Amino acid sequence: QVQLVESGGGLVQPGGSLKLSCAASGIIFRVDHMGWYRQVPGKQREFVAQATGDTYYADFAKGRFTISRDNANSTVALQMTSLKPADTAVYYCAVSEVWAHDGPVSPDDYDHWGQGTQVTVSS
């Protein structure tokens, strides 16, 4: 059984930085799409970034967030800079073992999700 474990969340002041990490454990045969989503209470889960060969970002993440993946270790990270209070959310990593298509994929294309890590941006 595959488990994804996120780490690196916490409280940070506006303008600060955080790096989230996500590690996959268990038997995972291949990793195609790796991504990050976020969610605030009362709202739908929101796409943040995806790494599949190419990288894709939500508009709010462009220029501030960087996604990276380590295929050898089945890990994916999200470096976040210039954080804003609007970035406060629970951040989830996701991994797929099946290729869906080129370009950004939908949440339904992911096979495994982490439990989430809280990011709070506040002074």
Round to whole Å and give the CA distance between 81 and 83.
5
- The pLDDT tens digits for 19-31 are 999 998 887 777 8
> Beta strands 89-95 and 117-121: pairing type?
antiparallel
- The pLDDT tens digits for 50-102 are 999 899 999 999 999 999 999 888 899 999 999 999 999 999 999 998 888 88
Round to whole Å and give the CA distance between 76 and 23.
7
Residue 2 pLDDT class (50, 70, 90 cuts): confident
